Amino acid sequence: MRKILLRLRVNGAHHEVAVRPSATVLDVVRDTLHLTGTKRGCDMGTCGCCTVLVDGRARLGCLTLAAEVEGCEVRTIESLREGEQLHPLQSAFAECGAAQCGFCTPGFLMTCSALLSRTPTPTPEQVKDAISGNLCRCTGYTKMYEAIDRAAAQMRTEPAREPELSSREAVSGGSR
């Protein structure tokens, strides 16, 4: 099958990639761009290990065609921190023991960053619901709640991050 040329914007950088038309976002970020922080857990949309942000919304990399995110801003775990500065969610997950084996962690972090950018002060129920599409086999999710709370509190007292992502896009589902 001939390859198609895609122009993708990933983590703020432009990439031109030649891929099979059926390549998923997960295939491209891992195998073409070698951004291996995004994990392949079930590859069928069930575990959430492959979660990335597309225009600020959490999306399953394994069930999204790369061709469908042309013109969108794709962000992977590699872009969550700014230089040496960890995102509050990253430090909180590390400090609270919310990451054990770490394999599901990038997916959870992307899901949570999408949550907190829309809902800076989520209720415990909102947090629980928001992460219910990501599976973790190590933690029983318990330490994650503490970590998300801690990160949310820190983010509320700090200047807003992710400036290049406009709030308009984040709330309007610009993924289409």
Q: Scanning residues 4 to 63, which ones bind another protein (CB under 8 A)?
A: 4, 20-24, 27, 34-49, 51, 57-60, 63
Q: Give, as ranges, the residues between 135 and 174 that touch another protein (CB under 8 A).
A: 135-144, 173
Q: How many residues bind another protein (CB under 8 A)?
A: 78
Burial 164-174 (b: 16+ CB within 10 A, else e): ebeeeebeeeb
When the beta carbons of 153 and 174 are compared against another protein, the nearer one is 174
- 51-54 and 13-19 strand pairing: unpaired
- Rg (Cα) of the chain, in Å, rounded? 16
Alpha carbons within 13 A on the beta-carbon side of 149: 11
Binding track over 83-122 against another protein, x by CB under 8 A: ---x--xxx-xxxxx-xxxxxxxx--x-x-----------
Rounded to a whole number of angstroms, the minimum distance from the CB of residue 157 to another protein is: 20
Rounded to a whole number of angstroms, the minimum distance from the CB of residue 91 to another protein is: 8
- 13-19 and 4-10 strand pairing: antiparallel
Rounded to a whole number of angstroms, the minimum distance from the CB of residue 135 to another protein is: 6
Rounded to a whole number of angstroms, the minimum distance from the CB of residue 4 to another protein is: 7
Cα 131 to Cα 109: distance, rounded to the nearest angstrom: 10
When the beta carbons of 22 and 121 are compared against another protein, the nearer one is 22
Cβ atoms of 113 and 160 closer than 8 Å: no
Q: Is 159 exposed, middle or buried (0-12, 13-18, 19+ CB in 10 A)?
A: exposed
Rounded to a whole number of angstroms, the minimum distance from the CB of residue 85 to another protein is: 11
Among positions 33, 112, 130, 155, the unique one binding another protein when judged by CB under 8 A:
130
Cβ atoms of 19 and 32 closer than 8 Å: yes
